[in-house]
Structure 1
Amino acid sequence: MNQTGYYVQLIIGGNHMSEKYRIFGAELSPYSVKTRSYFRYKNIPHKWVIRSPANADEFQKYARLPIVPLVITPDNEGIQDSTPIMDKMEELFPEPKTNPDDETLKFISILLEEYSDEWGNKHMFHYRWKAEVDQISASRRIAETNLPFYIKFLPVVNTLMKNKIAKTF
């Protein structure tokens, strides 16, 4: 490891570790958080960019679908969906490994990841939206990330707008 804590790795025909990837995501998106956690585990230099109206043009330039996460590579390639993102990064950054070498254990690891992607998020959404206090909290957090940047500097307007937008969820 070098001084910054990142593994130094040269990829022939590819990018250097010092080049940063950009992850467009949202704190309330389980797939965005999964992608960011993966990048942290692998020590892949990245910048976390919360998707908002302020960066909509840049997001649209690289996104095929209006969903997060979106990873923009140092080569300006846009990759969406957490599993394909991780598959691509696994090719470029094979260490540390995320799956065991043993084929049976590797199958179980992939099966657990697939289950978590497709069914584990149902539990998360249940607990996010079941209780009224959680509904209010989640809807305000979503509203806050969708407010125009300048509104955050106008406290009264900020509160009114957040409450109004939150009621639409």
Structure 2
Amino acid sequence: YEEENIDEEEHDLIIESIEEVDPEGRSFGKLSEDEDSFYAGAVPDAPELKLGKRKNLDELMQAKGNEFVGSYGRDEFDEFKARMSEDFFAESDDAIRKGDHQAEIRTENRVFGDADEELERLKQQISQETGLVDPNSDAGFEEEVVEDEEEDLEGYSIDEDGVEWFEDEDGYWWYREEGQDDWQPYDD
């Protein structure tokens, strides 16, 4: 390094390789210290930690009585809250006077305990009386599934190797090999 054949970084790399193979485990000074002293292990001027009994955070945060506890921002926030409340009440009073409000109906979203059971019973009764098929019943569901399957089979097939083939509405063929999630375009 002193003869200017190597730079600081190369010097430090050589020193590190020497330290790794040193049988006594010695460390030598490096020219460029990239480590921050905060992360280097021993922090200079760091106070010794007092590791005693555990402290309760709530107790630590409570005022002991002899320190100043300021109200910076608290007064401003209370004023803001009061001003916003006054504005809100003034606007809502104006809306009520003008008739621009909607009446609140307390029972509008009320749910009764047996409402769902009664609704299902009523649906079944109506479907029996009219002769219509209940769309939520199992029989109607099976018929719809069969119809959907017939529609899906048009332009769709699986060959003997398990490859799925699909023809889109533009007439292009796509395939998907067994176990794959993505469709690939078929090129002639």
Please give the TM-score of this superposition, normalised by the length of structure 2.
Answer: 0.19
User: Whose radius of gyration is greater, 1 or 2?
Assistant: 2
Structure with greater contact order relative to length (CA < 8 Å, sep ≥ 6): 1
Q: Which structure shows the higher helix fraction? A: 1
Please give the TM-score of this superposition, normalised by the length of structure 1.
Answer: 0.20
